[in-house]
């Protein structure tokens, strides 16, 4: 365990004005609080807070963050209270410790909704003070460095969480060196065989190339010397995980990768950076398509550098990064540079982005998102995706994740432009909306006020902003559609008990169901979140007894062919309607049930013909309504369901219930329960529905209603 002197000496080099007595007190406080506690490795527990503090010191952060690192586990793992820390070290440190404690208690390793909600809480905490995240990242880095002491299952869980959450967060904060180490430490646990294979290939390559890195560094220094440039040159092998990811992405073998070796030139100023680039290109042949200028087009996390790949010594392809000293500080420590010190003063680095800018952009659109999973998805996209730069017709730069489409481009400009997008022109050519945009392309959006977002768009876009806007608009459209359907269900349901679906009745239902308005009740009915039975039970509980809305046709009826005084009821398995050939089955306990002649259940009674009764529908039955069900496969588009419901109503049939199942991005199935007069009436309705271009299949469902699962055997075409 390192002593306090080893921790303080590096601080003196960049912040000699720090309150060292307070840091020593925090060290002693944490040492005493964790006394008698040990880590899984067997070493004293306080080794961990010290190492976290040392990582924070390497980032050259302020004394409050250092004290927080030393104390970050005291509230969670000891009997010390947050109030006691506030009294001892002030409110700033107490708030930071509280923030880190809350982040530690969040479960982030699952994508379920409750964990997506925790992920949103993480970003809320970050938005209050980003130093909380810097301490948490440092905490995770040391835990990953010592993860081998944990049981294997915990190693895997922590490594996956690090790979999915914390490493991308470090990258999004511009802390590339921390991201690379977190990724590689996770890679060592999650895929040790692949990592070891890459390391063995590195060892073989070193023998074959006879330590190529120093030789190429010397070549670069000589070339820069000819230009009389004062620059610092470094070289290294890429991390195993970085190599493996490139092999997966490019589907290439180890020896074919062009950037196994990386070299960096750090200059005094931006002018020298471009001179150095020219010197490198004069000395070695540049590889086409491998040049990126992040100085003129910085990444959103503030990263600036020139990237180029050249054919170096012995034809080996190497990547060269060129940047200034200030750009290098940001590239290495990212937003941590916002709090870094030099000679006791906060450093003003012009290339450090506002660390809260990204968080504010998230807050604007997603902190108050209705669906935490949407927020989680958006943040993941924001963290993982690289960027492309496209231009509006006026020359404005629009940054998009790699793989972005013209729809993403439209929404990046304004939600209104995205909603009304009908086409796009890229570099003067009309292209499909699903086209993937490339760096430097000029994009023009074709709009129409009559256009509305399509459900298929969601699978085309890659930005969280576009996905959220499309989903929000579709929800609004679906709500209007659900309200329309709900009105019909409410009308039919209440009509059955002699009541009307008045505004007053619906408002009463809304109040009893803890909903905001009558429209909420109708929308719930239309989207099958509320049934007609439940509406009646809410408003008129005494009317519910004996009521079965879906199968009102199951009442006892008189049919031609029965003995005087005999009654029968229709079987729910086939739901026969006038116009169909029917047969009565006499069952001792159940009486006589009426089946359609093609009912599957009759096969079980083939050997008992003495129970069969030849029956016909009585005159006038076609004047009453009879329940039946249709299963419809339809395009998942705005307005389609509402159009079908209107069509059914126009043909004189009532809708009593709707069930949704087997939802897909493009098509889904519904079961609609309707009341019809007879077989001809049903056939007319089905023919009209089938004529709609957005309908794929319409079949009559023979097996009851309200089923959440249906197999093909349950469907019998009329």
Residues 6+ apart with CB under 8 A from 319: 258, 259, 261, 262, 263, 290, 307, 308, 309
pLDDT at 117: 56
Fold of 360-471: Ubiquitin-like (UB roll) (3.10.20)
Low-confidence ranges of the chain (pLDDT < 70): 105-127, 209-210, 249-259, 314-315, 338-339, 341-350, 352-387, 528, 543-558, 588-590, 605-610, 620-623, 662-666, 703-718
Q: Pull the structure tokens for residue 687.
A: 């023919």
pLDDT at 623: 60
Smallest Cα–Cα separation from 179: which of 303, 287, 274, 89? 303
Q: Which residue of the set 6, 9, 43, 76 is catalytic?
A: 76
pLDDT at 53: 96
Please report, for the chain, the start and end positions of each structural domain, with discontinuous segments joined by +. 4-190, 194-346, 360-471, 472-547, 623-714
Residue 703 catalytic? no
Q: Do 420 and 406 contact (CB within 8 A), yes or no? A: no
For helices 63-71 and 82-89, the axis angle rounded to 10 degrees is 150
SS3 for 180?
helix
Q: Do 458 and 467 contact (CB within 8 A), yes or no? A: yes
d(Cα 416, Cα 679) in Å, to the nearest integer?
Answer: 48
Residue 43 catalytic? no
Q: Which CATH class is domain 623-714?
A: alpha beta
Run of H or E including 269 = none
Q: Which residue of the set 58, 77, 161, 533 is catalytic?
A: 77
d(Cα 465, Cα 414) in Å, to the nearest integer?
Answer: 10
d(Cα 107, Cα 686) in Å, to the nearest integer?
Answer: 51
| The domain made up of 4-190 is a member of CATH 3.40.50.1220 | no
Query: For strand 261-267 and strand 317-324, is the pairing parallel, antiparallel, or unpaired?
Result: parallel
Smallest Cα–Cα separation from 213: which of 178, 221, 268, 231? 221
pLDDT digits (tens, 9 = 90+) for 249-262: 666 666 555 567 78
pLDDT at 187: 93
If you search the block for the tokens 């990046």, which residue do you land on? 412
If you search the block for the tokens 């590195």, which residue do you land on? 202
pLDDT digits (tens, 9 = 90+) for 411-433: 989 999 999 999 999 988 899 99
SS3 for 445?
strand
pLDDT at 718: 32
User: CATH code for 194-346?
Assistant: 3.30.460.10
């Amino acid at each position: 365990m390192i002593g306090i002197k080893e921790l303080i000496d590096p601080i003196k080099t960049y912040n000699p004005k720090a309150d060292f007595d307070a840091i020593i007190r925090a060290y002693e406080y944490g040492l005493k609080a964790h006394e008698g506690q040990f880590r899984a490795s067997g070493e004293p527990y306080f080794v961990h807070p010290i190492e976290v503090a040392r990582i924070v010191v390497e980032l050259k952060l302020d004394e409050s963050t250092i004290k927080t690192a030393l104390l970050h586990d005291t509230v969670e793992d000891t009997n010390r209270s947050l109030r006691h820390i506030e009294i001892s070290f002030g409110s700033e440190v107490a708030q930071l410790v509280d923030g880190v404690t809350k982040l530690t208690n969040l479960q982030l390793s699952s994508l379920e909704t409750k964990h997506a909600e925790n992920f949103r809480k993480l970003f809320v905490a970050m938005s209050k003070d980003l130093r909380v995240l810097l301490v948490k990242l440092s905490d995770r880095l040391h835990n990953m460095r010592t993860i081998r002491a944990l049981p294997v299952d915990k190693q895997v869980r922590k490594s996956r969480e690090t790979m999915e959450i914390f490493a991308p967060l470090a990258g999004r904060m511009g802390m590339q060196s921390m991201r690379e180490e977190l990724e590689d430490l996770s890679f060592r646990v999650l895929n040790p065989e692949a990592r070891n294979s890459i390391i063995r290939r590195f060892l073989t390559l070193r023998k074959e190339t006879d330590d190529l890195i120093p030789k190429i560094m010397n070549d670069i220094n000589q070339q820069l010397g000819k230009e009389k440039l004062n620059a610092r040159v470094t070289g290294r092998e890429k991390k195993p995980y970085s190599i493996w990811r490139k092999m997966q992405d490019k589907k290439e073998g180890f020896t074919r990768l062009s950037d196994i070796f990386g070299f960096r030139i750090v200059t005094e100023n931006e002018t020298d950076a471009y001179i150095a680039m020219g010197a490198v290109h004069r000395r070695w042949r540049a590889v086409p398509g491998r040049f990126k200028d992040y100085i003129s087009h910085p990444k959103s996390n503030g990263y600036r550098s020139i990237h180029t790949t050249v054919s170096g010594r012995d034809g080996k392809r190497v990547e060269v990064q060129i940047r200034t000293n200030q750009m290098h500080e940001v590239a290495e420590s990212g937003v941590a540079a916002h709090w870094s010190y030099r000679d006791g003063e906060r450093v003003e680095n012009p290339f450090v982005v506002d660390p809260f800018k990204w968080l504010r952009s998230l807050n604007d659109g997603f902190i108050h998102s209705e669906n935490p999973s949407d927020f989680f998805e958006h943040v993941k996209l924001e963290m993982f995706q690289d960027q492309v730069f496209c231009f509006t017709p006026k020359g404005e730069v629009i940054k998009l994740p790699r793989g972005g489409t013209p729809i993403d481009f439209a929404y990046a400009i304004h939600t209104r432009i995205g909603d009304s997008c009908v086409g796009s022109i890229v570099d003067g050519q009309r292209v499909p909306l699903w086209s993937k945009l490339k760096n430097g392309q000029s994009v023009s959006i074709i709009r129409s006020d009559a256009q509305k977002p399509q459900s298929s768009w969601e699978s085309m876009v890659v930005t969280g902003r576009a996905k959220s806007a499309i989903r929000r608009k579709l929800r609004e459209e679906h709500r209007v559609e659900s309200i329309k359907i709900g009105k019909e269900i409410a009308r039919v349901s209440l009509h059955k008990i002699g009541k009307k679906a008045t505004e007053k009745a619906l408002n009463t239902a809304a109040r009893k169901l803890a909903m905001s308005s009558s429209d909420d009740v109708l929308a719930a009915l239309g989207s099958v979140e509320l049934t007609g039975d439940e509406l009646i039970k809410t408003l008129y509980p005494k009317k519910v007894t004996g009521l079965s809305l879906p199968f009102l046709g199951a009442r006892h009826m008189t049919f031609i062919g029965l003995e005087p005084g005999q009654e029968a009821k229709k079987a729910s398995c086939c739901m026969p309607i006038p116009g169909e050939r029917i047969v009565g089955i006499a069952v001792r306990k159940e009486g006589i049930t009426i089946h359609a002649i093609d009912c599957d259940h009759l096969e079980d009674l083939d050997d008992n013909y003495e129970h069969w009764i030849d029956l016909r529908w009585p005159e006038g039955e076609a004047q009453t309504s009879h329940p039946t069900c249709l299963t419809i496969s339809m395009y998942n588009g705005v307005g389609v369901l509402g159009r079908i419901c209107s069509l059914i109503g126009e043909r004189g049939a009532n809708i009593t219930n709707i069930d949704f199942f087997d939802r897909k991005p493009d098509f889904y199935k519904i079961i609609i329960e309707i009341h019809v007069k007879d077989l001809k009436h049903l056939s007319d309705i089905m023919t009209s529905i089938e004529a709609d271009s957005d309908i794929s299949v319409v079949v009559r469902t023979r097996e009851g209603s309200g089923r959440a699962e249906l197999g093909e055997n349950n469907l019998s075409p009329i």
